[in-house]
Amino acid sequence: MAGPPRGPVAPGRFSVRRRWTLALLTALLAVGVLFSPLLGTVAIAPETVLRILLHQLSSGRLFSDPCAGAPVPPSGCPGLIEIVWDARLSEVVLAVTVGAGLGLSGGTLQGVFRNPLADPFLLGLSSGGTLGTAVVVVFRVGVGEQNLLLPLFAFVGAIATGLVILVAARSRFGSVETLLLTGVALSSFLSAVLALLLVFSPTGSLQVDFWLLGNLGALDWSEDGIVFGVVLVAGTLLVAYGRELSLLQLGSDVAQSLGVDARKVRVRLLLLTSVTTAAAVAFTGVIGFVGLVSPHVVRRIAGNDYRVVLPGAALVGAGFLLAARDLALVAFPGTLLPIGIFTSFVGAPFFAYLLFRRRRASTMGAP
């Protein structure tokens, strides 16, 4: 058919894609990543830390003796390098990766379910993943292979949860309420199974307890690599569905009339979110509220275009978790507090605020 009438048109006030927002967030995060290794349970002079980082990053070409002038532990300069590089930086990278994964998952789920309160925990994805890891620990599955088995079982747990939600809600997939309630029921059920597991396995309970509050410590680069790889691949795919997610906000029918295969896109996004969440909880356990808070922060700054919201939520989530890690070290030096405590201190009041605001908004979350 013929297009609209030709002729000059005024330039419209389209929302700028707000790339500067993403650039700014990236810059802030880079600064955070650079300076976070300065903080740790052992006191090391900042210039020594920076020298070690640059030494390692340049594969030893810069600062041939990075420990020069610093008090060196009994293990010598390699011991200091190990603390800064293998312990601190790997922890920082893990915080960034897990935070990004959780932020992305939360942003995606809020879009998929058109509900500002959606979050990996709400749907039971995190519980499913944690249950998977608990099985590995409690039943001592493949001791020595846990690096691979933990994420694998977490994937199985989270994806199985995602599939159960899909199958249970398949007959009425259009109904957002059905899905959310299925997720809530499933989440409670999985928590009950987890509790049962702990009751009968007192030996494993300590570690599982630790996961339930979340932690970043005691991991090394190979675990980082697994989480990083999965979050990078699944996260990139999630971000690529930004436009579809924006259109889904108009409702399934409208989105479909515009050409978005709403059902297919939802299923794909839910599976990708399961994978991302599983990677995030596999080694660190349940870290609450990052997925809930991060997307809202981005919306406030950059509007509701999911092509910005999703990468933005990843950046904010990464920064949020990194800040929580740094805060824990500053506020309680020398103790290893589970990081989930800090995210919850920020997240829970925010959740209450959203609930309060939601009561005033009329149609939020309606399909």
Check: CB of residue 286 under 8 Å from CB of residue 126. yes
Interface residue with another protein among 84, 247, 297, 324 (CB under 8 A) is: 247
Helix axes 290-302, 19-35, angle to 10 degrees: 130
> Under a CB-based contact definition with an 8 Å cutoff, are residues 49 and 38 in contact?
yes
Q: Return the residue matching tokens 């009994």.
A: 74
Which whole-number Å values give the CA distances from 87 to 19, 42, 220, 224, 279, in the listed order?
34, 11, 7, 11, 20
- The answer to whether 185 and 260 have CB atoms below 8 angstroms apart is no
Smaller CB distance to another protein: residue 5 or 144?
5
To another protein, the closest distance from the beta carbon of 186 in angstroms equals 24
The least distance separating another protein from the CB of residue 269, rounded to whole angstroms, comes to 14
Given candidates 250, 267, 301, 336, which one binds another protein under the rule CB under 8 A? 250
218 binds another protein, rule: CB under 8 A: no
Q: Does position 9 bind another protein by CB under 8 A?
A: yes
For residue 6, count CB atoms less than 10 angstroms from its CB and return exposed for 0-12, middle for 13-18, buried for 19 or more: exposed
Measured from the CB atom, the residue of 47 and 261 that comes closer to another protein is 261
Q: Which part of the chain contacts another protein (CB under 8 A), choosing from 122-130, 149-157, 228-236, 240-248?
A: 240-248
CA–CA dist 286, 227 (Å, integer): 15
Alpha-carbon dihedral angle through residues 156, 221, 138, 193, given to the nearest 10 degrees: -40
d(CA 169, CA 248): 18
- Selected range binding another protein among 33-41, 55-63, 343-351, 358-366, rule: CB under 8 A: 358-366
Considering the rule CB under 8 A, would residue 140 count as an interface residue with another protein? no
Among 181, 218, 254, 352, binds another protein (CB under 8 A): 254
Nearer to another protein, 9 or 43 (CB): 9
Least CB distance to another protein at residue 6 (A): 8
Among 75, 188, 236, 249, contact with another protein (rule: CB under 8 A): 249
| Per-residue binder mask for another protein (CB under 8 A), 300-319, x = binder | ---xxx--------------
74 binds another protein (CB under 8 A): no
Concatenated DSSP letters of 128-169:
HHHHHHHHHHHTTTTTT-HHHHHHHHHHHHHHHHHHHHHHHT
Q: Does 57 bind another protein (CB under 8 A)?
A: no
Q: Which residue, 164 or 237, has its beta carbon nearer to another protein?
A: 237
Decide: is 236 part of the binding site for another protein (CB under 8 A): no
Q: How far is the CB of 295 from another protein (least distance, A)?
A: 11
What lies within 8 Å, CB to CB, of 75 at 6+ separation is 82
Q: Does 240 bind another protein (CB under 8 A)?
A: yes
In our burial notation (b when 16+ CB lie closer than 10 A, e otherwise), range 239-274 reads bebbebbbbbeebbeebbeeebebeebbbbbbbbbb
Q: How many residues bind to another protein according to rule CB under 8 A?
A: 36
- Interface with another protein includes 3 (CB under 8 A)? yes
CA distance 254 to 262: 9
CB of 243 to another protein, least distance (A): 7
What per-residue string of b and e applies to 341-358 under the rule 16 or more CB within 10 Å gives b?
A: bbbbebbeeebeebeeee
Instruction: Decide: is 355 part of the binding site for another protein (CB under 8 A).
Output: no
Binding track, positions 170-189, relative to another protein; x by CB under 8 A:
--------------------
- Sign of the CA dihedral 84, 85, 87, 88? positive
Minimum CB–partner distance for residue 26 and another protein (Å):
20
In the region spanning residues 264 to 303, those forming contacts with another protein, defined by CB under 8 A, are 299, 303
Give contact residues for another protein (rule: CB under 8 A): 1-5, 9-15, 114, 240, 243, 246-247, 249-251, 253-254, 256-261, 299, 303-305, 363-366
